[in-house]
């Protein structure tokens, strides 16, 4: 025989929501979502700058025959290029305005006389840096090039080495020339 229904008991504690159980199987990959709205305009960038490297370049020559030249800076009669006006035609010297690494080159020509020898030097602040020499008979040509580290007001020029090697020859074909340019400025 079945007994009587008992009185209602007290409410029990709440059970777990199942998160502490073992993970289930991974479901299938869903479809891609809709494309989002276009983003707003970004911040304005910095303005680009042009090459701010200082500029210095010159090329000079003799378009007349200089003949026997004194042992002093060679004052070339023709200015081909003088960007920045750092070559002084009156003194024959390049004067550095922008410290940096410079390239200098010269070519010297002489006539065909057996005593018409040439020996030309590049000088920096009065010190001979390098030279080029040509002797013998026949037309002669000598050249050289150097890379120099200059500071402001350094002076560079070409000059004959001695009175035994200073007979230059040129004309409108410009057999004697001197050039230089700033390769890059010092930081």
Domain ranges (residues) in the chain: 57-185
CATH architecture type of domain 57-185: Sandwich (2.60)
- Please answer whether residues 62 and 175 qualify as being in contact, where contact means their C-beta atoms are separated by less than 8 angstroms: yes
The answer to which of 63-67, 94-98, 180-184 has the lowest mean pLDDT is 63-67
Q: What percent of the chain has pLDDT over 90?
A: 56
Structure pTM? Answer: 0.72
Q: Where are the beta strands (DSSP E) in 65-117?
A: 67-68, 78-83, 87-88, 93-95, 100-110
* pLDDT at 114 (0 to 100): 61
Which of residues 175 and 46 earns the better pLDDT score? 175
Residue 68 has a pLDDT of: 87
């Amino acid at each position: 025989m079945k007994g009587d229904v008992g009185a209602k008991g007290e409410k029990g504690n709440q059970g777990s929501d199942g998160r502490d159980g073992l993970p289930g199987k991974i479901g299938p990959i869903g479809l891609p979502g809709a494309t989002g709205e276009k983003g707003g305009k970004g911040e304005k960038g910095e303005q680009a700058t042009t090459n701010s490297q200082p500029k210095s370049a010159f090329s000079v020559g003799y378009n007349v025959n200089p003949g026997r030249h004194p042992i002093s800076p060679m004052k070339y009669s023709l200015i081909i290029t003088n960007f920045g006006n750092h070559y002084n035609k009156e003194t024959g010297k390049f004067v550095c305005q922008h410290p940096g690494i410079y390239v200098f080159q010269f070519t010297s020509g002489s006539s065909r006389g057996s005593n018409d020898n040439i020996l030309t030097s590049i000088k920096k602040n009065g010190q001979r840096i390098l030279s080029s020499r040509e002797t013998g008979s026949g037309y002669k040509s000598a050249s050289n090039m150097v890379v120099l580290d200059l500071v402001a007001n350094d002076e560079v020029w070409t000059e004959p080495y001695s009175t035994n090697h200073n007979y230059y020859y040129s004309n409108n074909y410009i057999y004697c020339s001197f050039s230089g340019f700033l390769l890059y400025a010092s930081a």
